[in-house]
């Protein structure tokens, strides 16, 4: 029996639009709830949400059997951390702050077993192999790995065309907030120079044939990103959705 198919990777390869949402509660119960909403992908965020390996693992377990695909974002692309979340069952990773083709190629190798990469082959005891109930896991897992790299600095944009040539990079996500900050527009990702840079980057990624990704909770802006070439687009962040609704409800009753 081979490793489970990665439906998100397959959908991207078919050119299908994938609508996503950030899962930032660091909690399996909340992430399972989100999986009932109908998003194609959910980011289990280990960069800016208080997640660690056990909370990420519990969220992967909670998403099992749902159609929303888990995209695990690590704080940084370290090979040891990649190995741990892959063994926990993640198939798709989103790695922040990639600034060169060399970095991207190193990430590809960290996600693959030899001879294609350096992933440690101890999955026999891990959730990824169904605790050894998937006999061909290690022989077939490489093909189901999906690497999304985040380009979100001026240096990253300068290296974008090179990054796009790296085999094994399955998609490139433009991070609007970090890009704005790096361009000197901290907190102003909608300012014209940042939007121009995002437009250029999404266009270049789409033209290369690789899927482009982006994030906006502003629905008009998200639509704009799709028009500019984004194929996988995150349109919500769960903590902010709850915060906004809670604040609006309280204000309505306090002020009315
Ligand atoms: O730079 C960005 O934008 C991102 O990388 C996404 C953010 O980190 C997201 O968590 C919300 O701001």
**Distance between alpha carbon 212 and the CA centroid of its chain, in Å?**
11
What DSSP line would sit under 33-67, residue for residue?
HHHTTT-SEEEEETTTS---HHHHHHHHHHHTTSS
Structure ipTM: 0.97
Domain that holds residue 78: 7-255
Atom index in ligand 1 nearest the CA of residue 22 equals 10
Nearest to 41 by CA among 242, 233, 240, 239: 233
pTM (global) more than 0.95? yes
Nearest CA to ligand 1 atom 10: 48
Q: Is residue 213 part of a domain?
A: yes
Mutate to test the pocket of ligand 1, among 24, 46, 48, 243 (most ligand atoms within 8 A of CB): 48
Among 48, 64, 69, 219, the active-site one is 48
Within-domain flag for 40: yes
Distance 150 CA to ligand 1 centre (A): 10
Cross-strand partners of 213: 173, 232
Q: How far apart are CA 111 and CA 83, in angstroms?
A: 7
User: Exposed/middle/buried for 172, CB within 10 Å: 0-12, 13-18, 19+?
Assistant: buried
Q: Indicate whether 2 belongs to any domain.
A: no
Atom of ligand 1 nearest to the CA of 96: 5
Q: What is the pLDDT of residues 90-103, one digit of tens each?
A: 999 999 999 999 99
| Distance from Cα 186 to the centre of ligand 1, integer Å | 12
Q: Which helix (H) or strand (E) holds 92?
A: strand 92-95
Residue 255 pLDDT: 77
pLDDT (0 to 100) of residue 256: 67
pLDDT digits (tens, 9 = 90+) for 135-194: 999 999 999 999 999 999 999 999 999 999 999 999 999 999 999 999 999 999 999 999
Residue 202 has a pLDDT of 98
φ/ψ of residue 231, rounded to 5: -100, -35
Active site residue 69: no
* DSSP per residue, 225-251: HHHTTEEEEEEEEHHHHHHHHHHHHHH
The answer to whether residue 1 is domain-embedded is no
| Phi, psi for 49 (deg, rounded to 5) | -105, 155
189 inside domain:
yes
Residue 151, domain CATH:
3.20.20.60
Say what the pLDDT of residue 143 is: 98
Regions of the chain where pLDDT drops below 70: 256
Best probe residue, ligand 1, of 176, 201, 234, 239 (max atoms within 8 Å of C-beta): 176
The verdict on residue 134 lying in a domain is yes
Per the domain annotation, does 234 fall within a domain?
Answer: yes
**In total, how many domains does the chain have?**
1
């Amino acid at each position: 029996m081979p490793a489970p198919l990665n439906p998100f990777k397959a959908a991207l390869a078919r050119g299908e639009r994938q609508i996503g949402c950030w899962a930032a509660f660091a909690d399996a119960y909340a992430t399972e709830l989100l999986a009932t909403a109908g998003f194609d992908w959910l980011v289990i965020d280990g960069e800016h949400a208080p997640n660690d390996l056990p909370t990420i693992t519990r969220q992967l377990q909670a998403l099992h059997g749902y159609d929303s695909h888990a995209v695990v974002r690590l704080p940084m692309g370290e090979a040891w951390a990649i190995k741990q979340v892959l063994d926990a069952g993640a198939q798709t990773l989103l790695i922040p702050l990639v600034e060169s083709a060399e970095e991207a190629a190193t990430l590809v190798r960290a996600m693959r077993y030899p001879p294609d990469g350096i992933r440690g082959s101890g999955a026999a005891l891990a959730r990824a192999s169904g605790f050894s109930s998937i006999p061909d896991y290690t022989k077939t897992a490489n093909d189901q790995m999906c690497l999304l790299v985040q380009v979100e600095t001026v240096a990253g944009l300068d290296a974008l065309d090179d990054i796009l040539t790296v085999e094994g990079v399955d998609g490139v996500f433009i991070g609007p907030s970090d890009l704005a900050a790096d361009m000197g527009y901290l907190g102003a990702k909608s300012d014209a120079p940042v939007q121009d840079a995002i437009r250029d980057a999404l266009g270049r990624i789409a033209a290369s044939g690789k899927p482009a990704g982006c994030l906006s909770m502003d629905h008009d802006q998200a639509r704009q990103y799709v028009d500019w070439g984004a194929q996988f687009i995150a349109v919500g962040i769960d903590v902010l959705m709850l915060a906004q609704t809670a604040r609006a409800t309280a204000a309505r009753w306090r002020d009315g």
